[in-house]
Structure 1
Amino acid sequence: MEVEFGDVLRGLMANRRLTVHGLCVAAGLAHADVGRLLHGDPPRPRILRQIAPALGMSPNDLLVIAGLSVTDVEPRKQHPLHRELIFLRAAASRLSREQVATLIEHAYQLHQGSAGTGRDAEVE
């Protein structure tokens, strides 16, 4: 029994409580790109590589799940807070516009507070 990738993607999104909009925002994709996948279009490596981090997965794992070949590519360097940033994007995708604006305001204030300390990328 063959499972369509759109069904697999729906399951991955449901397990992570990600909406289509949330996935699009987290992956930096248009609704149409994700919609095509969910409605049965064949997955393209470029799109999967963008979606994978938003799902908390490696791009190569998602390519394998989609039945696509994985080339020997040097892994990209990840930000030291990669997982935390993925979680933050996913969590923010479920907020209202007002809550997102407040979150951005707080992030900006935190950044300003750490600007003079040389600790911009660190978390305590």
Structure 2
Amino acid sequence: MTQRFADILQGLMDNRGLSPRAVSRASARAEATILQLLHGSVPPSPEIVKDIAPVLQIPEADLLVIADLATRQTSSRPSAYRNSTEIGELVSIASSLADGQFRRLIDVARSLKAEDLNC
């Protein structure tokens, strides 16, 4: 099952243009953990699935089924980030932008953050 999950995870990441580093950053999981999942050297846990599902833009329940964890009880630990689904979508979109567009996105994000600090 671990290799099957690894293959599906790689396909989801490829389909969304996500690197292991992008998934790591957006899910607050170590890049080494993502790489181990991709190599099939560690099995996915409910906690990892909960953290990476929004980044992959897939419902947690679906990813739990893919990971063969659907019948097990999931952790009640809160998401790594509030609005994690939207953060996952943002990472996915940002991964496909040209360099100039990506820099503009960063500038807009910094501007929004500065507005919050000035309020």
Q: One fold, TM greater than 0.5?
A: yes
Residue 53 of structure 1 deviates from its aligned partner by 1.0
CA distance 1:110–1:94, shift in 2 (3 Å)? farther
Q: Which runs of 5 or more structure 2 residues have no equivalent in the other structure?
A: none
Q: State how far apart, in whole Å, the 1-side matches of 2:74 and 2:52 are.
A: 19
Structure 1: tracts of 5 or more residues without a match: 116-124
State the identity %: 33
Alignment partner, residue 64 of structure 2: 63
- Cα RMSD, aligned residues only: 3.2
| Secondary structure at the counterpart of residue 60 of structure 1 | helix
Q: Which stretches of structure 1, 4 residues or more, deviate above 4 A after TM superposition?
A: 76-79, 92-96
TM-score normalised to structure 1 length: 0.67
Instruction: Mark the structure with the bigger radius of gyration.
Output: 1
* Distance change >3 Å, CA 85–CA 61, structure 1 → 2: same
* Cα displacement (A) at 1:72: 7.7
In structure 2, give the amino acid aligned to 1:111: D
Q: Deviations over 1:61-89 (max 9, x none)?
A: 11101111243888x7996x664332223
Which has a greater percent of helix? 2
- 2:63 aligned partner, one-letter code: L
TM-score, normalised with respect to structure 2? 0.70
- The alpha-carbon deviation at position 48 of structure 1 amounts to 1.1
Partner of 1:30: 30
| Corresponding position of 1:88 | 90
